[in-house]
Structure 1
Amino acid sequence: MSHVVRLRSLVASALLLGSAGAASTPTLTFPFKVQGTANAGASGQLIVRTLSPTMSISVLTLRGLTPNTAYVAHYHSLGTASSDPCASNGPISLVFPPFKSDAQGQGLALLRAVPARISGTAGAYVNVHTADDVAVIPLCASVLKAAAPTAVQPTTPQTTTTPPATHAASQQGVTVKIGDNTFMPTPLSVAAGTTVTWVNTGKVTHNVSSVDLPGIRSASLHPGESYSYTFTAPGIFTYYCSYHEGMSATITVTKR
């Protein structure tokens, strides 16, 4: 049996379980829209069912993808860069397991997550990327709450001199330890010109990728292996491990 057929069976079982265990919770369906010219004929939908306050199931069913191609998909919290959720440049909040389209260009992915992590305070969106170039975003789906809160952003004191709870790094270099499902330290603040080295100190394979900075893309890192990248420009960048959902962190790069 192919991976897609097995996953279809798992999806059907999961949604059936949701119907039996959470009859009062509707199944929400969000259509994907094409982004740019990549996979212009692609389409699909995101199905979200909340089973309990601590568990939801999100299912991607996609068509018109490049056949036999690896893809990744991410939930992003709603950003503020645009009124269009898919262009709002929000941070990654959850990562779907990597998947591969079949010979007909169909793709399927399933993610179990805490419902609060999906919508945040205002909403979210899901981007689908080709695995070999996360800057290519063929499809996006907006996921907005039925009732938007009065205050989109929580009241948080802002400081411009010393960001709270960050770990500053010297310009010579800094090491980030990759544990199993965590990056340490995080959040991290470094000066432009700093080389960051990620070292896998866990027991399973991880990797390091970023949508904000496509240049950050490691190979699979087995325990004890490392990957380095030198940050040259200021900004706030999110990176993640594509193998493990929810495993992400941020680096703030300041001027020299």
Structure 2
Amino acid sequence: MFRSIHFALVPALLLMPAVAQTQTSQAFPLLATGTAAGASGQLSVRTVSSALSLSVLTLRGLTPNTAYAAHYHALGSAGGAPCASGGPITLGFPAFRTDAQGQATVTLRANPTRLRGPLGAYVDVHRASDLTDVPLCAAVLKGAVTPVTAAPTTIAGVTVNIADNRFQPATLSIKAGTTVTWLHTGQVTHNVLSLTVADLKSPDLRPGDKYSYTFKTPGTYTYYCSYHDGMSATITVTNR
């Protein structure tokens, strides 16, 4: 078994305070960046109080019996993928070593106000012997989002809200040629995918992100979020 290790905070750079909510929990998938095929994991962030949060990395598919490091970064201004945005390190997880199966769990205790940057934040996992080797990365905690409570519908377009673990509305009827825009109003990473329509495939969507698709052919279309079991919805497209 691997151990969770607690680590004292290092000074944070460029991070701005955020309002903490007691006993809230968020989960962010760690995605392979290409240097470690088959690696995966999850970052869970639980706010215990206004002064304490627990960030837990659960990692799989890394090189067995190998030393790694992980860091929070402020999201940089370079654009593109979060890990390529060039943001500075703001918090460090304790150093850790994978077990014989390439797994590890590591915990960072931090003030929750240090986990949000002016543009956002990301967490990456490095091989300790080569910090340029980043097998896993997760984009987390973008700027605050104002929830959208209604899904306005017009002839030209429709908005579907992506709340955590559900699409709103879950069923929708539109005319052929209508553009549907999915607006992320939740707190964790989601996506929009279809098993039957190859080009209905969003990138990972984080708070405040949007994705649009124009339905041209009548039919019934079921789509889902691959990160959350049971999170699916249906759109029925009718003739003009």
**TM-score, normalising length: structure 2:** 0.51
Residues 1:110 and 2:107 aligned together: yes
> Which structure 1 residue ranges, 5 or more long, are not aligned?
11-21, 150-256
Residues 1:123 and 2:120 aligned together: yes
* One-letter amino acid matched to 2:138: A
The match for 2:67 among 64, 67, 70 is: 70
Matched residues in 2 for 1:55 and 1:23: separation?
Answer: 10
| Cross-structure match for 2:31 | 33
| Cross-structure match for 1:132 | 129
| Cross-structure match for 2:48 | 51
The alpha-carbon deviation at position 147 of structure 1 amounts to: 2.3
* One-letter amino acid matched to 1:87: A
Local SS of the residue matching 2:24 = coil
Matched-pair contact (CA < 8 Å) for 1:59–1:109: yes
The match for 1:91 among 76, 88, 92 is: 88
Greater helix percent: which structure?
Answer: 1
Matched residues in 2 for 1:90 and 1:109: separation?
Answer: 22
The alpha-carbon deviation at position 24 of structure 1 amounts to: 5.4
| Cross-structure match for 1:229 | none
The alpha-carbon deviation at position 54 of structure 1 amounts to: 1.6
Q: Give deviations 1:18-55, integer Å, cap 9, x for gaps.
A: xxxx995331000011112x221100000001112221
* One-letter amino acid matched to 1:39: A
Corresponding residue pairs, total: 133
| Cross-structure match for 2:97 | 100
Q: Give aligned-pair identity as a percent.
A: 57
RMSD across aligned positions (CA): 2.3
| Cross-structure match for 1:183 | none
Matched-pair contact (CA < 8 Å) for 1:74–1:126: yes
Matched-pair contact (CA < 8 Å) for 1:122–1:148: no
Matched residues in 1 for 2:109 and 2:22: separation?
Answer: 19
The alpha-carbon deviation at position 84 of structure 1 amounts to: 2.4
Could you list the structure 1 runs, at least 4 aligned residues long, displaced by more than 6 angstroms after superposition.
Answer: none
Alignment of 1:157-172 (within 5 A): none
Matched-pair contact (CA < 8 Å) for 2:41–2:59: yes
Matched residues in 2 for 1:54 and 1:147: separation?
Answer: 19
Q: Give deviations 1:116-142, integer Å, cap 9, x for gaps.
A: 211122320001000000010000011
Matched residues in 1 for 2:74 and 2:64: separation?
Answer: 29
Q: Give deviations 1:154-182, integer Å, cap 9, x for gaps.
A: xxxxxxxxxxxxxxxxxxxxxxxxxxxxx
Matched-pair contact (CA < 8 Å) for 2:21–2:49: no
- Larger RCO (CA within 8 A; separation ≥ 6): 2
Matched residues in 1 for 2:53 and 2:71: separation?
Answer: 15
> Which structure 2 residue ranges, 5 or more long, are not aligned?
7-19, 147-240
| Cross-structure match for 2:58 | 61
Q: 1:42 to 1:56 in 2, by over 3 A?
A: same
The alpha-carbon deviation at position 113 of structure 1 amounts to: 0.7
The alpha-carbon deviation at position 7 of structure 1 amounts to: 2.6
Q: Give deviations 1:168-213, integer Å, cap 9, x for gaps.
A: xxxxxxxxxxxxxxxxxxxxxxxxxxxxxxxxxxxxxxxxxxxxxx
* One-letter amino acid matched to 1:64: G
**TM-score, normalising length: structure 1:** 0.48
